[in-house]
Structures are given as structure tokens and as C-alpha cells.
Amino acid sequence: MAQIEPLINPRDFPKDQVIWDTDAIKAHNPHRFEFRLLDSVLHLDSDSSLLVAHRHVPEDDFWVRGHIPGRPIMPGILMLEAMAQAGCIHTHMDYHLEEGRFIGFSAIENARFRGSIGPGTDIWIAGKMIRYHESRAYMKWQGQVLIADSTVICDGTITGMGI
């Protein structure tokens, strides 16, 4: 499969330059325990509508033992879920979704998996808001999951609705 142009160079977004930490994410994203797939937000540019989040994939993540024993590979659905969570956080940060609401993952378009991610890997989740409709809390977010060398491992367009 052909490589696509990355939205960002992860080296431009150091993991220690956090603008929203785990606690801030948890205040707006109801996912907990193994389903909280973002560690931090590293960048938000409202003018270009770009958000960059980060996650360190733990060596002992819940899927490691059973998702291809001997050669653990992060499930693609978890990469898509990480993008959906980043889109939800983007909505809270840029559009100030009302307290207690979140964006639920309702559709995916043009998802592609272009590589694999193993335990112990740092991933950057980068994306742009394509569309947001305030009264319905509807959003479309085009995102990518990248590794440190700027390789795009997964990309697609997430649709979400306010819940």
C-alpha cells in the first residue's frame, strides 16, 4: 500500500510539551482504564483546525497477550478508537461542547492500515476537524496515527455525534 503524506512530523511535537494532560482528557472523555487511549494533547491550532495527541502504548496493554502471541500487534480498531477519542477532545477544546456531553463514534470512512504498532511504541494521533455542527454536536474529523519517524500507520475520517 502506498505511503501517504503525514499531517505532522512527530519530532515537532515533543511528548513533554503537554497542553492537556491525562486528567484534563478524563474530565471530557468518559473512557477509562484500558479504553482511555490518549495520554496527552500536545498541540491545538484552531486556525488550521489541527490537533495532535500522544499515547505511549504500554508493554503490558490488555491486547498484548492475545493479539498475535509472539508478535503482538495493536488492533486496528484501537487505532481508530484513538482517532475517535482525539476528535472528541478536539471538539471540547475548540467548540466547547457542553459539560457532561461527549462525542460518540458513529462512523468511519476510508480507513486504511499501512503498518503495525507493537507494545512499547509511542504514537501521535493528528487530525483536522472537517465539519462541526453545533446544534447537533455533529463532527467529522480526518485523522492519522503516526510513529516517531513520521510513518502513517492508520488514517481515516471519523464521524461522531453528541451523546
Please name which of 123, 40, 134, 48 lies closest in space to residue 91, comparing C-alpha atoms: 134
129 assigned to some structural domain: yes
Identify the residue with better confidence: 102 or 61: 61
35-82 pLDDT, tens digit each: 999 999 999 999 999 999 999 999 999 999 999 999 999 999 999 999
Which residues form the catalytic set? Answer: 67
- Domain of residue 102, residue span: 10-162
For the domain that residue 25 is a member of, what is the CATH number?
Answer: 3.10.129.10
118 band by pLDDT with thresholds 50, 70 and 90: very high
87 part of a folded domain: yes
Helix/strand number for the chain, H first, E second: 2, 6
Quick check: 96 pLDDT over 90?
no
15 falls in which pLDDT band (50, 70, 90)?
Answer: very high
Q: Specify the pLDDT at position 24.
A: 96
- 5 within domain boundaries: no
The rounded distance, in Å, linking the Cα atoms of 17 and 11 is 11
Q: How many domains does the chain have?
A: 1
Would you say residue 3 lies in a domain?
Answer: no
4 domain-assigned: no
pTM of the shown model: 0.96
CA distances from 119 to 104, 113, 145, 153 (A): 26, 17, 15, 14
1 within a domain of the structure (yes/no):
no
Q: Is residue 56 part of a domain?
A: yes
Is 2 within a domain?
no
| Residue type for position 26 | K
- Gap between the Cα atoms of 154 and 163, Å rounded: 26
Read off the pLDDT of residues 23-37 as tens digits, 9 standing for 90 and up. 999 999 999 999 999
